[in-house]
A = this chain, B = another copy of it.
Amino acid sequence: MTTRDKTNSFSVGNLTYGGNSHIYIQSMCNTPTKDVKATVSQILKLEKYGCEIIRVAVLDQKDASCLAQIKKQIHIPLVADIHFDPNLALIAIEQGIDKLRLNPGNITDPVKIKEIVLKCKEKKIPIRIGVNAGSLPKDISAPTAEHMIEAAKRHIRILEELQFHDISLSLKASNIDLTIQAYKLAANTFSYPLHIGITEAGTMLKGAIKSGIGISRILEMGIGNTIRVSLTDDPVYEVIAAKEILKNLHLMSEETTFTSCPTCGRTQYDMIPIAKEIESYLDTVHKKIHVAVMGCAVNGPGEAKEADLGVAGGKGEALLFKKGVVVGKIKAEEIIPVLKKEIDEF
């Protein structure tokens, strides 16, 4: 039993979060929330790639009043990200959000805080507190792990005093060493589930390296109930990157595997585009399946013994095989649709 499994557990929409639930993949929209069409379209795409919880920024009343409309059209829990303005939180709660990301210590009016917390309690809406090393309270501004925990305690105390315990916590820094120290200390200090991420990780390549190293180290310590990879790019890449981290650490149950040979002189069909398309299609498939796309019938079925499903190309056609056994012959142009259909039906 890891630290992860020993955390509190509660509902986020239709999900059970924390405790021995699996590690959820989440992302954040980069569309204006008030542009409902663009936001819903982005969320539906993210769902397809395996995003399990989605967060949107609520900057003003217009954003807040669009949340119900968005929620109606999507299938995963919706989190409203709110800073400073308690009225936006109250509107968001009325709109039916599934979770609130809000730092109670940043709201100066105690009456408003109480109102928000009591409403969240009544509607069973959990709150995530997000401590960021770059914006600690003025009196403890030096960004150390201890100070990040102290900042978290101040926010948590406000909620606990109102007997509110459905709390999730994040402690992000752009420096991976500091982030790791902070989460380690948090796991020893609190029993609340932890949201893991490296903030301002950067553009796709550098952000993937930084998040890959940092998030994997934290998860390997048995810490973390949900992860978000932050990339300065399309959030779909955040979801693909998060899946890749979980897959490499064997922390994902529904794991697709894709094998393809590097092609050689024996390959007699245009294999690479087919391999790429099938690999990318598997990003949107959420089941345990191993698919192989091989260049030729010599090594194809043999090398793909472990695969559930595969093709081994010949001249203008390919052998279709299941569990290493040839089950039929298909034309080259039918490989993609046939494989997709077989994957869907698996």
Contact = CB atoms under 8 A, between A and B. Distances in A.
Please name the 9 residue pairs, one residue from A and one from B, whose CB atoms are nearest each other, closest first.
A212-B212, A208-B208, A209-B244, A209-B212, A213-B216, A206-B244, A212-B213, A208-B209, A213-B248
A87 B180 CA distance: 52
Contacts of A204: 204-205, 208
Contact of A237 (B205, B245, B249): B205
B245 A213 contact: yes
A298 to B, nearest CB: 15
Given A212-B212, A212-B213, A213-B212, A205 B248 contact: no
Nearest to A283: B206
Contacts of A213: 212-213, 216, 245, 248-249
Contacts of A248: 176, 209-210, 213-214
Interface of A: 176, 200, 203-206, 208-214, 216, 237, 240-241, 244-245, 248-249, 262, 279
Please state the number of chain copies in the assembly: 2
A334 to B, nearest CB: 25
Nearest to A210: B248
Contacts of A206: 240-241, 244
A216 B70 CA distance: 40
Contacts of A210: 212, 244, 248
B176 A244 contact: no
Nearest to A276: B203
A257 to B, nearest CB: 11
Contacts of A211: 209, 212
Contacts of A240: 205-206
A214 B220 CA distance: 13
A23 to B, nearest CB: 15
A334 B234 CA distance: 31
A100 B204 CA distance: 34
Which of A210, A212, A214, A249 has the most chain B CB within a 10 Å cutoff? A212
A204, A205, A208, A210: most-surrounded residue (chain B CB, <10 A)? A205
